[in-house]
Amino acid sequence: MDIKLARSELNKKAKAIDLKKIEQMISKDGSSILYLDRENTHKDLLALQEHFEQSGKNFYMREVRFGLSDDEYAYEIHIL
């Protein structure tokens, strides 16, 4: 499963990261905070949440708005 990270600029494409890379980040630090792009499907985000909750991790997700337009948001993910 590929998850798209939040863009650093509005005009650029979002970079993708796979589940294995996220797991490596968490095993190294013990926890992780990620900002994900709005192009991620709700189904993929729920699958990501289910994966980490089944492995005994706490998973928190919220929507972060950075502008007034409806499409100016990202997802903030905390995995502990």
pLDDT of residue 35: 96
Higher-confidence residue of 16 and 11: namely 16
How far is Cα 18 from Cα 25, in angstroms, rounded to an integer? 11
> What's the chain's Rg over C-alpha atoms?
13
How far is Cα 72 from Cα 64, in angstroms, rounded to an integer? 9
- Residue in this structure with the two tokens 């997700």, named with its chain if needed: 61
pLDDT digits (tens, 9 = 90+) for 38-77: 999 999 999 999 999 999 999 999 999 988 888 889 999 9
How far is Cα 55 from Cα 7, in angstroms, rounded to an integer? 28
Report whether pLDDT(10) > 90: no
Number of domains in the chain: 1
Find the mean pLDDT for residues 2-18: 90
Phi and psi (nearest 5°) for 41?
-80, 155
Domain hosting residue 61, numbered range: 2-79
Phi and psi (nearest 5°) for 52?
-75, -30
